[in-house]
Amino acid sequence: MKRFFCFLFIGCVLAYTSGISFSAYSGGLGTLSDPYQIADVNDLLYLSAHIDDYDNAFRLTADIDLAGYSFNAALIAPDVGGSGGETFEGVTFKGVFDGDGHVVRNFRIDDVYAADYLGLFGYAQNATIKNLGLENVVIVPTAYDFQSVYRGCLVGIQESGAIENCHVIGSLTGGRYYIGGITGYSSGIIHRCFADISINPNQWGSSNIGGIVGKLEGGTLSSSYSRGSIQQGSGNANMGGLIGFVGAEAAGFVRNCYSHCSVIGDTGVGGCIGRIQNASAVVENCYATGVVQGRQSYGGFLGQLISGTVTNCFWDRQTSGVFSQSAAGTPLYTYQMKTRSTFTNAGWDFVDVWSICGVTNYPRLTWQIPAGDWVCPDGVTLADFAFLAQRWMMNDCGSNSACDGADLDLSDAVDLPDLLRWLEQWTQNP
């Protein structure tokens, strides 16, 4: 027995002296199969401070509220050098951060030092960030930030890697170059994301500003959308509802995206994209509806096309206030933008990617539409209940197309569990 307690004491001493903490996170080993669990603010702050963990895997197990906290740099992987310019002086995040459908709320950066690489993550390098919501984000300068770069609400700069199934709701003020609702700069994959964002650089000469990405350089943006506003005065360039600038050193690819953002700037201003400058860049099956205002090289869909390919893209000439001017894309009246055949005739996929209720609304991405919203993608309503009732007690749904998706629990029958799931969606998505 004495020998047992001796070994136990020695083990505790070794653990203490080697800096190991058994309560660092709320569980997990940091592996892909058993990620570190982030359950509260303390866990998130612990991750922020422990750079040796930046190549591990993490998973949120609850929503996190950062109300009452204010930061002057990115929370995870910040730039710590302070020498200014575009040089990152810190440790990049190279791990996996899975929000697991949870939300981080009230994240705030008061930019006391006109810092670079701002966002929840300052620099994500070959990292995966997924299934995460970021709401009521505020990034605001309290000092002059004429040269500050790489600012996004979620990630300052994304080098390779992936951002998937994420959303941002908030505002971003200040910054000179590479400013975006989700990330300031991306050479990675962004898929199934949206940003509801207000961006105002608030200074002369800002550029590369987008509702989702400031500059897309060799990366891919797909099945994503933006709404909100991007506005700035004179001397600003490359501003777009989705992306400010695509190119120039490496081709970017943009597919199946849309923007409802209003964009007001100077030159290279577009409802979807401000400027494209790469011969291999491809933009296809996208549209824009937001107000666009510029002084020169502005357009309802694209402000400036130096090189690249834009196909099957459209903008609303009525809501944008731009009747015919654009470097690419096709102008349409609002009723045409709300007509399914407009897009199916252009080869858009209305089975797996897009959905629309003719003359009722614009096309929406199928992943946006909650389960139980069968009649029209405007929310789960009593009209959807009538749809369910008409298919009540149908069976063999796996092979019977008459069920039309009403078998929500995939049990091969439309029955009570489907009704209960529909009622849950009805309360969450009215």
Domains of the chain: 25-343 (2.160.20.110), 369-430 (1.10.1330)
Helices 382-390 and 416-428: crossing angle, nearest 10°? Answer: 170
Per residue in 148-188, pLDDT tens? 889 999 999 999 999 999 999 999 988 888 999 999 999 99
Q: Where are the alpha helices (DSSP H) in 265-400?
A: 334-337, 340-344, 382-390
Query: What was the pLDDT predicted at 343?
Result: 96
Query: What was the pLDDT predicted at 409?
Result: 80
How far apart, in whole angstroms, are the C-alpha atoms of residue 165 and residue 41?
22
Query: What was the pLDDT predicted at 222?
Result: 98
Query: What was the pLDDT predicted at 10?
Result: 29
Per residue in 87-109, pLDDT tens? 889 999 999 999 999 999 999 99
**Lookup: tokens for 335:** 């009723």
Q: Could you give the strand order of the β-sheet that contains 237-240, starting from the edge strand earlier in sequence? A: 149-152, 177-180, 207-210, 237-240, 267-270, 296-299
Q: Are strands 128-141 and 167-173 parallel, antiparallel or unpaired?
A: parallel
**Lookup: tokens for 329:** 């894309």
Q: Please, which pLDDT band fits residue 281 given cuts at 50, 70 and 90?
A: very high
Per residue in 244-261, pLDDT tens? 999 888 889 999 999 999
